[in-house]
């Protein structure tokens, strides 16, 4: 979208109308700007956001578990927000990841599934990243519904193919299995052998 003189307020209004949290961060993952949706979660004072890390302002459950703060705790190594920023800072044109995010509000831990999207852009000669954090709890609940055949117990995947339950779980959830007998089946097998 080409902006003409005087249209900056229109652009700001468009960004603020987005119901997803949007943050502009630098290469060190420091927040430079936030839209209204993010500010509603963080604080109404936009100046309280500037130059702080996302985990601090969003109150990530791990943000203060290291003396140096957000970005330095053990959990931060696998933080989907940090990973997304680093991927696009290293040359990827888009990073999109689904994750469970956990924040603390008034001593209560709140977890929700989020789609974290990062895209790089330049502004004023600086390389920046636009982070979008969308609440996808409703979609995650739909994804957790698994179609299973009532007769043979095969599972239908997203491509409408049917496969054995074990194969489906191994492929889609990286699970491994060991086999044994439940008490009822074990008793049936013992009775058959006698």
Give the global pTM. Answer: 0.65
**Which pLDDT does position 123 carry in this prediction?**
92
**Which pLDDT does position 34 carry in this prediction?**
87
Domains and CATH numbers, the chain: 8-141 (3.30.450.20), 146-193 (no CATH)
Least Cα distance to 158 among 170, 175, 143 occurs for: 143
Is residue 49 within 8 A of residue 91, CB to CB? The reply is no
Is residue 24 within 8 A of residue 134, CB to CB? The reply is no
Least Cα distance to 43 among 57, 31, 27 occurs for: 57
Residue 141, H or E segment = helix 137-143
**Which pLDDT does position 2 carry in this prediction?**
56
Q: Cα-flanking dihedrals φ and ψ of residue 101, to 5°? A: -105, 140
Residue 185, H or E segment = helix 183-193
**pLDDT tens string for the chain (194 positions)?**
555 666 788 888 888 888 899 999 998 888 888 888 888 777 555 566 667 888 787 778 777 778 888 788 787 788 888 899 999 999 999 888 888 888 887 888 888 888 999 999 999 999 999 999 998 877 666 556 778 888 888 888 767 788 888 777 777 666 677 778 888 888 888 777 76
Residue 103, H or E segment = strand 95-105
Q: Distance between CA 184 and CA 167 in Å, rounded?
A: 24
Least Cα distance to 131 among 122, 120, 118, 144 occurs for: 118
């Amino acid at each position: 979208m080409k902006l003409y003189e005087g249209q900056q307020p229109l652009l700001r209004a468009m960004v603020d109308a987005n119901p997803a949290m949007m943050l502009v961060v630098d290469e060190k993952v420091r927040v430079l700007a936030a839209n209204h949706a993010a500010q509603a979660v963080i604080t109404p004072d936009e100046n309280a956001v500037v130059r702080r890390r996302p985990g601090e302002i969003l109150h990530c459950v791990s943000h203060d578990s290291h003396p140096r703060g957000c970005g330095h705790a053990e959990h931060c190594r696998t933080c989907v927000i940090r990973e997304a920023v680093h991927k696009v800072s290293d040359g990827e044109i888009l990073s999109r990841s689904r994750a469970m995010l956990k924040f603390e509000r008034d001593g209560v831990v709140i977890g929700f599934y989020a789609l974290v999207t990062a895209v790089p852009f330049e502004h004023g000669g600086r390389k920046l990243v636009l982070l979008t954090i969308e609440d996808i709890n409703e979609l995650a609940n739909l994804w957790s519904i698994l179609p299973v055949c009532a007769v043979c117990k095969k599972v239908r995947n997203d491509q409408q193919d049917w496969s054995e339950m074990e194969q489906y779980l191994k492929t889609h959830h990286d699970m491994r299995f060991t086999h044994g007998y439940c008490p009822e089946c074990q008793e049936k097998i013992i009775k058959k052998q006698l």
